[in-house]
Structure 1
């Protein structure tokens, strides 16, 4: 009831601002802003379509079908200068349907100085080269709520050898929720990417690795605590074997649960206005997976892109996903396939807030189970997508299909399939945006259903400079 009252009062109070369209001065750099969104979603068969819900930081829950929502995002940008500066963001989302509730989606503050950015809190982040129009980043995606972290990263590409070689880096320490099998487990994340670019050739090549680890925490069944402290943090940082207090399996392989990706991108300028991009994301699991044995397990993408993103068709792309190859040592303690995203110690797997952190195509059989989760990780998939931009009108059109076969050593009796067609449009009206979208799903994973979404967005500058 409280959330419904807030939504009604919010609509009455901000109505004149939302629908009183105004021109803003583009020559003025914005500082503190309030982004206001009001929308509604209506779906058939009792559920929001798969990709309206997936890769959306849990703004919409599974099982919801018809509701109105409001979203407030108060923030200050990082800024464009290298001087010491601060930034922040707080995002609240409220939904009214059969029941009303509100959630904090983002809540962060940070400092930027020179080439570095330090952030504390829960902030949406985007890793790798996989576009949102495809399946998204397979491991470090935005399918779950942002995880509370401390992070340090480079502002952008940092030149090492003039414009020929640049580097981009990120490292974070985070906290997973207490209500899980390994209660209060810790999170370690980092990536290091290199970019090669020559002035004589119209080619850019990016290569890097992303490394994640779950460690620490207390087992809820036997109260056994996993090793923590600085010395064990260094083991996690280097993905090295556990010490004398570690489990036997961690002494052989690596302390904690390690997983990540190898990321590659090749970009070629074919004219002044057009480029082609080819990218690969290979999955790896545990210490043995750091060696690129699973070179054919991951996502392969290709796209043609217009540089200025103007025109009725300025992007056309395709993605192929295949995670059926899951290598790993076949001899010794704990031998067998890598079993992507699952772990025998951290039994909730690669999840946060009962939601998969990576792409939602890795289906969870028993969501909202605080004791353990089963993540089905053998996938094949295909995606086609396009987008265009004509004056104040933008659109994206996508087709996505995937088949989930279960796990490598425990396949499903019947593979789960889902196909989806989605069309989303955005109309800019005097610096305000009107979004209209629809998505149709058909599969044996869920009954065929269609959903419609309408959303109005307004950005209000609270301070100008």
Structure 2
């Protein structure tokens, strides 16, 4: 991997000028926060891209980007970033190290690159219920469409796809677990700004080395099987992979977009599945239901108090538990797995929707995945002068498979972020709180400082 990045750096420094203009960017971001409990309020560490954990008081991020204009709306980019933080594990960490290529239709990323935020930091799970901005991105290769390929022209029927391969190189139960991801979507776009997208995401944790079972299947034929969702021909993990090879999880997706008088509207639905029962809808109505609007006009209703709004509802109480056959083969257990026991996590942070929580005591395996959540996000300007972001979530936590809480845990989690200064640097104040039904409430304050050095 080091050889690749040295080659890319050589390309940027010596060869890129012959192709087009090069834009350099060096940014710094610092975070400081205090809180009343042992851990910070939920929204003061959640969806921080792996840069903060529950006990972080201080962090600092330095990131560098170089973008090369290749002409024809094509570009290449090299990025490198690192951060330090305190918390559960103090230290210096790699945030990004990547090379990417972008054309109007296609994107390629090699390395470790943060994902794009699609909803102005208002969504709990961003693009998918299975892949949020909560954890650090793993290193790998990503090939994806940036805009639909249409059968004819720039509207009508089109399609989008992605193919991604990663290595989960953190400290986990199965060492060097690989992560496969692909997606496919059919898109209809009209000439008057109406668009509907229907498709699916498919993820598989596979291969790796187990202390108990040794090297797990990771050959070419095994890749074919995880790609198509097939089971292994041989016994794997003492019969712990019955339905399909690897830890497989996916979602059906429906996205409806339209624009009315420069206001963008979206409706999103994600249906989650882990096996054939979920594929057939046996776990309905589990999933994510969301609406989002973004006002691109100068004012909204005569002022700028509200420029963007998001509402999301998450429901995971079924998990195929209501099927008669679940009495024999068991219910689902979202983000957990018997063989890949670290589950749907990376560096001890949940990869998917962050309302699904780690075990509180060990921070190993998922401890809460049966829940309902109402989540709101708002963004605008106070007195046309101070930009703000406000998050409010009300969740009911019921427990995890075979271990329901004796009493439902109800939590209100909130965050108010107010931009105080925006000159040659940006300074934001943050106020967060968790109001719990069973535990002492938790309050926090923070400051976020960011500056473009050049």
TM-score after normalising by structure 2: 0.84
**Residue 79 of structure 1, CA deviation:** 5.4
Tell me by how many angstroms 1:444 deviates.
4.4
Structure 2: distance between partners of 1:423 and 1:354: 26
Q: 2:379 aligns with which of 387, 390, 411?
A: 387
CA separation in 1, counterparts of 2:87 and 2:283? 45
The answer to whether the Cα contact below 8 Å between 1:267 and 1:278 also exists between their aligned partners in 2 is yes
Give the 3 Å change call, closer, same or farther, for CA 78–286 of structure 1 in structure 2: farther
Q: List per-residue Cα deviations over 1:377-419 (Å, max 9, x = no partner).
A: 1110112222114766421222111111112432122333321
Q: 1:149 aligns with which of 140, 146, 155?
A: 140
SS at match of 1:400: strand
Match of 1:335 among 329, 337, 347: 329
Q: Distance in 2 between matches of 1:91 and 1:445?
A: 40
Distance 1:445 1:265, change over 3 A: farther
Give me the whole-angstrom Cα distance separating, in 1, the residues matched to 2:112 and 2:161. Answer: 19
In the other structure, the counterpart of 1:186 is: 178
Q: Secondary structure at the match of 2:214?
A: coil
* Aligned: 1:138 with 2:132: no
Check conservation: 2:51, 2:85, Cα contact below 8 A: no
DSSP 3-state at the match of 2:369: coil
Q: Does 1:58 align with 2:87?
A: no
| Shift of residue 261, structure 1, vs aligned partner | 1.6
Q: Which runs of 5+ in 1 are unaligned?
A: 1-28
Which position in structure 2 is the counterpart of 1:352? Answer: 346
Partner of 1:414: 407
Q: Which residue of 2 aligns with 1:315?
A: 308
Aligned counterparts of 1:83 and 1:304: Cα–Cα separation in 2: 28
Displacement of 1:113: 5.3
Q: What residue in structure 2 maps to residue 218 of structure 1?
A: 209
Assess, with a 3 A threshold, how the Cα gap between structure 1 residues 114 and 313 changes in structure 2: closer, same or farther. Answer: closer
Q: Give the alignment's TM-score, normalised by structure 1.
A: 0.82
In 2: Cα distance, 1:440 partner to 1:414 partner: 22
Hey, what does 1:23 align to over in structure 2?
Answer: none
Query: Equivalent residue of 1:34, what SS?
Result: strand
**1:107 shift after superposition:** 2.0
Give the aligned CA root-mean-square deviation in angstroms. 3.1
Kept after mapping to 1: 8 A contact 2:54/2:87: no
Kept after mapping to 1: 8 A contact 2:55/2:87: no
SS in 2 for 1:183: coil
Give the superposition deviation at 1:100.
5.9
Instruction: Measure how far apart 1:204 and its partner are.
Output: 1.7
CA distance in 1, matches of 2:69, 2:235: 46
Q: Of 389, 397, 402, which residue of structure 1 is paired with 2:390?
A: 397
> 2: CA distance between counterparts of 1:286 and 1:41?
42
Paired with 1:148 and 1:314, the residues of 2 have a C-alpha distance of 35
SS at structure 1 position matched to 2:221: helix
SS of structure 1 residue aligned to 2:358 = coil
Match of 2:285 among 286, 289, 296: 296
Distance 2:268 2:396 in 1: 22
Measure the CA separation in 2 of the matches of 1:413 and 1:294: 23
Matches within 5 A, 1:110-259: 110-112=100-102, 115-126=105-116, 132-136=121-125, 137-162=128-153, 163-177=155-169, 179-199=171-191, 202-220=193-211, 222-244=212-234, 246=236, 252-259=242-249
Distance 2:263 2:104 in 1: 32
1:181-200 Cα deviation digits (max 9, x unpaired) = 2222211012222321112x
Structure 2 CA distance for partners of 1:178 and 1:382, relative to 1, 3 Å: closer
Q: 252, 259, 267: which is aligned to 1:278?
A: 267
How far does residue 253 in structure 1 lie from its aligned partner after superposition?
A: 2.0
Q: Deviations over 1:292-317 (max 9, x none)?
A: 43341011112333134752212233
Residue 37 of structure 2 is matched in structure 1 by 45
